[in-house]
Amino acid sequence: MVWQKYNGEKIRTCINDAVEDIIQKETYLGNKLKVYIGTDSQVKRGIVEFATVIVFLREHKGGFMFINRDKIVRRLSIKERMLTEVQKSIDIAYQLCPLLDQYHIDLEVHADINTNPSFESNIALKEAMGYIMGMGFQFRAKPESFASTNCANKMVQ
């Protein structure tokens, strides 16, 4: 997996080392962090493009994010695409969880799924919520899921 910063700079170490470096730097600077993970996707000419983000928010001092982009060349139903987004978010959350626990950093997993039943993505809400919460993570869906709905969304447009 290739991760990068928002400015396009590639992260040359494994993601766990990069996240730990950030945590140590921000802690040294006296900043309290919270981490949010989310994934969004777009379908373009039969290719599903995904962007997964790790958003770091400093308490009262802004934030920044790491991004991973990925593609699948096959047709997915809306439900399958939403659950694939959730799977990508959970994969990275699960990988980072021991590190975040070690430094006592809160984590939320955000899903780009609408809580309003009149939206198409709502078809995957129950499964996504059960999956994320069943893995022990805090869950947010639209309109509270800014990591996927806003941050990751900007990376796939």
- The CA distance from 81 to 154, in Å, is 17
Look up tokens 């802004």; give the residue: 62
On average, the pLDDT of the chain sits at 95
- The CA distance from 104 to 1, in Å, is 25
- The CA distance from 62 to 47, in Å, is 34
Q: What is the pLDDT of residue 85?
A: 96
**DSSP H or E segment with residue 130:** helix 125-134
Helix axes 78-102, 15-28, angle to 10 degrees: 50
Query: pLDDT (tens digit, 9 = 90+) per residue, 92-135?
Result: 999 999 999 999 999 999 999 999 999 999 999 999 999 999 99
| Contact criterion met (CB below 8 Å) for 109 and 128 | no
- Kindly report whether the global pTM for this prediction surpasses the value 0.75: yes
157 pLDDT band (50/70/90 cuts)?
confident
Could you give the domains of the chain?
A: 3-155 (3.30.420)
Q: What is the pLDDT of residue 1?
A: 80
| Residues whose CB falls within 8 Å of the CB of residue 140, separated by 6 or more in sequence, listed in order | 108, 109, 110, 111, 147
Average pLDDT over residues 70-94: 95
In the predicted structure, residue 38 carries a pLDDT above the cut 90: yes
50 pLDDT band (50/70/90 cuts)?
very high
Average pLDDT over residues 71-87: 94
Average pLDDT over residues 36-44: 96
67 pLDDT band (50/70/90 cuts)?
very high
